[in-house]
Amino acid sequence: MECRRKFDKILSEQTLKLELPVSFHKKVRQTLIDAMKKNGNIKERSIVLLKGDTIKFMHDQDIVEEFQQEANIFYLFGVREFDCHGVLELDTGKAFLFCRKIPDEWKIWITVKEPPFFKQQYQVDDAWFDTEMENYLKQKNPEEIHIYHGIDSDSGLSLPEPSFECLKNYTVVKDKLYDILNELRVIKHPEEIEQMKFVGRISSDAHLRVMNNIKAGMMEYQMEALYKFHVHELIGSKEKSYNCICASGDAPALLHYIDNEKQIPDNALILNDMGSKYNGYTSDITITFPSNGKFSQKQKEIYNAVYEAYTAVLSKVKAGVSWEEMHFLAERIILQHLIKLGLVVDTPIQELIEKRVSAMFFPHGLGHFMGLRVHDVGGYNPGHPPKLKDVAGLRSLRTRRVLQEGMCISVEPGCYFNKSLLHLAFNHPVVSKYLVKEKINEYLEVSGVRLEDNIVITKDGYINFTEVPRTIEEVERACAGLPWKD
């Protein structure tokens, strides 16, 4: 097969950049010191010790995987390089970086950065090779060394901890830093909000570019490729927010479909859930649109159910509102549409919610905190409502907190016709009596619809970082390459 083809000049000379100032990291270090002193009951001469991420080799090859910095050390120090440790003195406020000593022979292969670079670049009080950690600790003689130790409420995983042999000679405290630092990261500073606005707009444009260029008969991976190209070309970010979801045909019913390898069928829905990461901060946007540019009647009906849930939530969110109640609001509206369409037996909505019928169509949570991770920390911090581990649909609700100003969160209602889940529902002794199987089977072709925006909570509402077509009319205009905004 002839694989060569003529290439047009498609690279743009325009690039965009938004600096994250070093002053931001200095500010959050002081905020952490204040919070530790107020809430941590710490001894005076204590330090925080954070471990950055390391480079990882690909299997048994001398090729490294794409490096991505650990969020906490980036938050407090801004450091982007691998194999670093950060120390923050809670009594003096001084900050230090420790970097790996790279063998001289590596200098013919990679860029090697040494302590003077780290001290100047990140404006810390000093920087040393990590072989100096033992000497530093002997001189400081800290009463407590606080490390970040805990199990993430979403993944169930924990981070590697600092492993210096000399730590055995000191009191290492593992039960204070985790919750205090996580709580600080929940409320975003203005500098963080600006970063998320920036990456949100770039990501929105990338989604729109895909909509403008994709049609039935093309491949799902081409959507992923075009999205990534747009972002990388414009802002140069190689960081990954999460794996792209480019689902068509029956795949939108799978919540985290990442195969992205099928040919896009005609007259099918496409669900693209793709985000980016820039200066550490993430976006996470989902759009749903028809492969041939026009919604079928059934596709319209389910799309409008999700769209009405989406707009209802956005009309209510503000500081002081319960996120759990927003999830139930989305469930109620989707159920109302399913009853109207004849898929669910006409029953009081509250009964359907209590019996978790809604979870058969909307099996995930309404959204999640965002920031330095796409599923950011703090959803189930102490002092807030606990996770409902055994309740269908709600077990995947990533927080039940009351919203506060400065929280960044995704809003992502959905309605799906997942054959595996519906099979369980049709055979469930309680849920099955509320379902109209024959009618539901008529809608299997719709597969799934999800709409997802990224917002920051304000006193009276929210600011939306996402700007993509949402109404039926806007989506169809965008698919046709026409101006979609009113």
7 within a domain of the structure (yes/no): no
Q: Are residues 420 and 436 in the same domain?
A: yes
State how far the alpha carbon of 22 is from the alpha carbons of 93, 151, 157, 238, in Å.
16, 29, 30, 21
Question: Do 161 and 198 reside in the same domain of the chain?
Answer: no
Is 139 in the same domain as 245? no
Q: Give the pLDDT confidence score for residue 7 in this predicted structure.
A: 59
Range of the domain at 391: 190-479
Helix intervals (H) in 123-219: 133-140, 177-186, 190-213
**Residue 88 corresponds to which tokens in the numbers above?**
């923050």
Are 363 and 322 part of one and the same domain?
yes
Domain count, the chain: 2
Q: Do 444 and 313 fall into the same domain?
A: yes
Domain co-membership, 166 together with 148: yes
Of 186, 217, 249, which residue constitutes the final position of a domain? 186
Report yes or no on 8 lying in a domain.
no
Residue 407 in domain: yes
Shared domain check, 196 and 179: no
Boundary of a domain, candidates 162, 186, 210: 186
DSSP symbol at 290: E
Conformational region of residue 141, where left means phi above 0, alpha means psi within -120 to 50, and beta covers everything else = left
The position carrying tokens 């002193």 is 37
- Cα–Cα distance for residue pair 259/71, rounded to 1 Å: 27
Q: Which residues 6+ apart lie within 8 Å of 214 measured at CB?
A: 222, 223, 226, 264, 270, 291
The model's pLDDT over 65-114, given as tens digits with 9 standing for 90+, comes to 999 999 999 999 999 999 999 999 999 999 999 999 999 999 999 999 99
Show the 3-state SS of 292-338. Answer: CCCCCHHHHHHHHHHHHHHHHHHHHCCCCCEHHHHHHHHHHHHHHHH
Q: What kind and span of H or E run contains 17?
A: none
DSSP H/E element including 143? none
Domain boundary among 161, 186, 211: 186
**Cβ(278)–Cβ(197) below 8 Å:** no
**b/e sequence 89-108, b meaning 16+ C-beta within 10 Å:** bbbeeebbbbbbebeeeeee
Indicate if 336 and 288 belong to the same structural domain: yes
The answer to whether 376 and 197 are in contact (CB under 8 A) is: no
Confirm if 47 and 146 have CB atoms less than 8 A apart: yes
427 burial level (CB within 10 Å; 0-12, 13-18, 19+): exposed
Regarding whether 269 and 164 lie in a shared domain, the answer is no
CA angle (80, 197, 469) in 5-degree steps? 130
- What are the tokens at 149? 């130790």
Assess contact for 88 and 30: CB atoms under 8 A. Answer: no
Q: In the chain, which stretches have pLDDT less than 50?
A: 1
Residue 485 included in any domain: no
The residues that bridge with 220 in the sheet, in sequence order, are none
Residue type, 57: F
| Structural domain contains residue 280 | yes
Separation of alpha carbons 125 and 297, rounded Å = 64
Q: What is the pLDDT of residue 1?
A: 46
pTM above 0.85, yes or no: yes
Note whether 304 and 156 are same-domain residues: no
Digit-coded pLDDT (tens) for 322-379: 999 999 999 999 999 999 999 999 999 999 999 999 999 999 999 999 999 999 999 9
CB 229 within 8 A of CB 268: no
Instruction: Calculate helix-pair angle for 190-213, 472-479, nearest 10 degrees.
Output: 60
Note whether residue 9 is domain-resident. no
Q: Is residue 95 domain-shared with residue 150, that is, in the same domain? A: yes
The answer as to whether 99 is a domain residue is: yes
Domain contains 13: no
Which CATH number characterizes residue 330's domain? 3.90.230.10
Q: What is the CATH number of the domain that holds 101?
A: 3.40.350.10
Cα distance between residue 216 and residue 220, in whole Å: 10
Per DSSP, the three-state class of 372 is: coil
How big, in percent rounded to 5, are the helix, strand and coil portions of the chain?
A: 40, 15, 45
**How far is the CA of 206 from the CAs of 117, 224, 275, in angstroms?**
35, 10, 9
Contact 371, 281 (CB under 8 A): yes
Q: Specify whether 156 is located in the same domain as 199.
A: no
Collapsing DSSP to helix, strand or coil, 219 comes out as strand
